Structure formats: C-alpha cells, structure tokens
Amino acid sequence: MDLWLRPWAFYAPDQRHDRTSDEVRLAGTDATLTLVRYAGNTPPTIDRPTDPAEPHVDLRTAGGEAVQLAQLPLPLRPARGLMLRDGPDAVLLQWPDLPDRPREKGHGAQHEPGVPLLQRARAVWDRIQDVEQALSDPATLWQELHRRWTGEDAGMPQMHVIVRHAREVSAVLERLGRRPRKVLRRVNRSLPVGRVQEIDRRAMLWMARQPGEQLAEKAGDRQRLLAVAREENFDILENRVLRAYAELAARVGNDYLERNRTRGATRRARDVKRFVQRCQQLVRDLRAKGVRLAEPGVTPNFVLQQNPDYHAIWVSWNELRNQDRIEDDLWRWQAMSWAEYCALVLMVALIAVPGAQVVATAPIWFRDEQRRGTWIEADSPLGVVYLPTEGLVVEVANARDGGAMTRLGAKLLLRLRQVGDEAGFSATIPVWPLWAVDGGLAARDLQEILNAFTHFPGSSRPRGGIVMRPSVSAERPEVQRSDICAAFALGTDGPALRETLGNLTGYLRSVLREAAP
C-alpha cells in the first residue's frame, strides 16, 4: 500500500508519499491523495471494516504487475485524522491545515473556515442535480445541460429541495398555522360555583376538608370550588414536529438565500424568502402556545401517519433532516463528486464544438441515494460524438480499463477514432479531475504530465492532456497551456463556468483539428 500525491506519480517518483511510520501528517491544503494497492493484498478499509476506499483505476505496470488506484475520503475532522487499515497494518492520516466540516448552526457559524469548502461541495452537487431535471428527455440531455449552464437559466438559483418545499408545503403551513391541532386536557382548577360541571376524586377530597355542610358554605366567601376543567393543550407530538420542521426549513432557506444573494430578484429566491418568513412566524406562534421541539428519531403517531397535512410535514421534515447526512457524505467524498461533475462538463464542452452530433449516449440513472459522493450511474463510454468537420468520432470514457494509458492515473479519457478507420482509436487524451481545498491551478501539473508522456513511444503518446481543478473565483476563470496540454480552473456557476466551457471547447477544437486526417 502506497500513497500518491498526484495520480500520475507512476511516472513522477517525487509525488509519492514516503510512508515510514504509522502516522502521516499531510502538509498544506492540497488534499489530492491517491491510495495505491498492489495485487494480492486485502482491500484497505477506512475507520470501519464496512467503509472501504473507492477504486477508480486498475492498471498494470510494464512488468505486468496489477495495481489499483483508489480514492480516499476527506474526514469530517481532518486534524483528528483518518485511520487507514491494510490487513494487519494501520496508518493514521492527518491534515492539520484543513478545516473541519462546519455545521452552520448558531450565530457566527457562517464565518467558520470550512464554510466556503462546504459551499463548493453543495454547488457541485447542484450542478449534478441538473442532470436529474434534464433527464426528462434523455435524447436531448447534453444539449439541455449546455442550455442550463450557459443560457438564461444560468442566472437562476439552483433547484434545491427548499425551493420545492416553498412551492408545495407553503399552503400546508398556512392551514396548520391557522388551526393547529389541540387536545382538551382535564385539570383541576378553582372555578366559580356556577361554572362547576364535573368533579373528580381529588375535588371531592378537597371539598370534604372544607368547613360547612352545603356547597355554598364549602365555597367560602369567594364562592369558588375545586373542580375538573378542560383547557386547550397544543403541546402534542404533531405540533412539536411542525415546529421542528418550521425551524429547520427557516434555517435551510436562509442558507439558500445566502448562497444565492446575488439572485434575490429571481422567482425561486422570492418564493424561498416568503417561505422562510412564514416558517419564522409559525415558530413564534407555536412557541407562544407552549409547543416544544420534537426530538430526532421520534416515532410518528396516528395523526402524523394519517392526517394529510401533518403527514406532509412529517415527510418534509425527514427530507430536510436527511440533508445533513447527504452533506456529510458530500464533504467526505468531494473528490468523487468533482470527478463526476468534470465528466459532465467534458461532454457539454464537446457537443459545443461546431457541427458536433451526439451519436450515442450511455443509459444514465440518477440514484435516489448517493454512493460515496456520486449520484449518476452510467456505462462507459458516457457519450459518443461525431465531428463531421474534423472527420472524427470522439468518446468520453472511463479510464479504468484503458490499457497502458491507465498508468497515467487519469479517471477519464477522450478517445479519438477517424471516420472509416477500422483499426481502432487513433489518439487518446487523458483527463485528470483534481480536487483541492483552496482551488486554483498548480504550476507543476502540466510539466509533470509532459514528463510522463515521454515514457510513451511516438505513436502511443497521448495527443493531449486536460487537468480540471476547482476555480478560486466565480468571476475569474483560469487557464494554463503548455505544449499540447491544458489546465482549467473550473467554476460551478456564472462566468467561471460559462467562460471555462468556452475555453475548454476552444482547446478541444485545436487538439481535434490536429488529430483530423
């Protein structure tokens, strides 16, 4: 078991981490880390035996030795570390310079150092969720994504679950806010004689101790008796769940508005703002009625299961509570989500090449539950595009079984075939989606890749290479070119996404033009 700081470390020995002890402290905020396992070893596990690393490339060395590259998750508390076990051996990985996963609760939580990183993970997730919406017509999936990311919809806030709640649950909150369920509780109260309707054992014992023989005498000068009274009680389970949902929805909605504060004039933002205000008012009303908060994990009663309005609140509450668990996984597997997003970007940029025609696309399923940061299940190649001007057919494929090319550690490959050539693919362009905490480009990437290319003989040498890293700014995309390779700092929104898509399309056009027959 080895640790590589870059996926192409097979040809860059200085990018291999020298693990000489049972504790490894990784300096800096560049957390790109690849676990390398050699054939014959048991699969490594992380913290728990049921939580393995995620393999993404299987390669063979020049000598025929099988090697597997796997992605490691980022722990929720990086400074505390990640326990990595490989058979009887264990090593503790620590990132002392990385922030903890923020919970964003309470005053000042938005200033936690990990908030920008969590916001980026959410933004990547939002872009991946665009696929679920675009899949309504699979035949135009990639064209629809291109329109969403570069057209008028690019200025719209993302379709978050809180937007759907604002549109579907608002009427339910309005009805329940006007008339929340209540029960009449039997209590003993001192009542005027004329209002006494029922007495119980406790009231009878009280009257037996009072002086006098008639009720009027026992009532005394104030003419009041201890009797059974009915009082309204709103502090019941269904109302506790209602208050818990309203508080959680208000917090999630405020977070959504903060993330999209530059788009406050859009309909989605206005819907969420009104919904948040309604939730906050409901919380104040229920608090005034003495309704407490429901605890997580409560068992639903008959009303929460059978009453349509309260059942809708119960379902919505659990849906929002599930967001925390989803975001925990998004935090841990940010690198996997980033790689999935980059594959989508690559297809969207490819179909923007003038004259491009989508010949075939893999069946795509959007999972109900993420699997280690990934939501999309698709075969390889993800898509096949015909470029009539260049006379090429281009595939966007998974690099897991890419032959000798897998030694470069790339997760994706662009495979080029000349039209009418039955000999196979004539050229390959490896693609490295590299996640990092700070974002921006790394100066050494392109030079190290070009050095790795020298290990391939002339005809098998990659025709180009693409590095895709997160952007630092939503307004300023970055591009680096070196010989045949290019590195892009890719945004998830606004100009950083639109301009990077244009730059990536321009790079692909230049490379494909050179590869044309």
Kindly report, residue by residue over 100-150, the tens digit of the pLDDT: 888 655 444 556 778 888 888 888 888 888 888 888 888 888 998 888 888
Give the CA-trace dihedral at 517, 487, 410, 465, to 10 degrees: 20
Residue 189 CB burial class (10 angstroms; 0-12, 13-18, ≥19): middle
Q: Check whether residue 35 and residue 15 sit in a common domain.
A: yes
Q: Check whether residue 349 and residue 298 sit in a common domain.
A: no
Domain contains 262: yes
Q: Check whether residue 324 and residue 371 sit in a common domain.
A: no
Q: Check whether residue 341 and residue 317 sit in a common domain.
A: no
Q: What are phi and psi of 87, to 5 degrees?
A: 65, -130
3-state helix, strand, coil in the chain (%, to 5): 40, 25, 35
Query: What is the rounded average pLDDT for all residues in the chain?
Result: 83
Q: Answer whether residue 244 shows pLDDT above 80.
A: yes
pLDDT at 306: 94
- Quick one: pLDDT band at residue 517, thresholds 50, 70, 90? low
Domain contains 231: no
Query: What tokens appear for 479 in the block?
Result: 């591009």
Q: Check whether residue 361 and residue 456 sit in a common domain.
A: yes
Among residues 332, 354, 369, the one where a domain terminates is 332
Domain contains 150: yes
Domain contains 490: yes
Among residues 311, 332, 353, the one where a domain terminates is 332
Q: How many CB atoms lie within 10 A of CB 363?
A: 8
* Average pLDDT of the residues in 29-47: 70
Cα angle: 330, vertex 333, 336; to 5 degrees: 110
Which residues, at least 6 apart from 155, have a Cβ–Cβ distance to it below 8 Å?
Answer: 263, 266
| Cα gap 30→413, rounded to integer Å | 24
The more confident residue out of 104 and 280 is 280
Q: Check whether residue 482 and residue 344 sit in a common domain.
A: yes
Domain contains 192: no
Q: Answer whether residue 332 shows pLDDT above 90.
A: no
| Cα gap 221→248, rounded to integer Å | 52
Query: What tokens appear for 321 in the block?
Result: 């509570």
Number of domains, the chain: 3
pTM: 0.80
Domain contains 213: no
Query: What tokens appear for 188 in the block?
Result: 């003993």
Among residues 297, 332, 367, the one where a domain terminates is 332
The more confident residue out of 64 and 374 is 374
Domain contains 287: yes
Domain contains 484: yes
Q: Check whether residue 347 and residue 495 sit in a common domain.
A: yes
Q: What are phi and psi of 227, to 5 degrees?
A: -145, 175
Q: Check whether residue 361 and residue 377 sit in a common domain.
A: yes
Q: Answer whether residue 37 shows pLDDT above 90.
A: no
| Cα gap 434→325, rounded to integer Å | 24
Q: Answer whether residue 75 shows pLDDT above 70.
A: yes
Q: Check whether residue 315 and residue 419 sit in a common domain.
A: no
Name the DSSP letter for residue 106. Answer: S
Q: Check whether residue 251 and residue 386 sit in a common domain.
A: no
pLDDT at 108: 44
What percentage of the chain exceeds 90 in pLDDT?
Answer: 25
What percentage of the chain exceeds 70 in pLDDT?
Answer: 89
pLDDT at 107: 40
Residue 438 CB burial class (10 angstroms; 0-12, 13-18, ≥19): middle
> Can you give the residue range of the structural domain that contains 59?
2-94
**pLDDT tens column, 467-502:** 999 987 666 778 898 878 999 998 887 777 888 899
Q: Check whether residue 293 and residue 366 sit in a common domain.
A: no
Q: Check whether residue 358 and residue 481 sit in a common domain.
A: yes
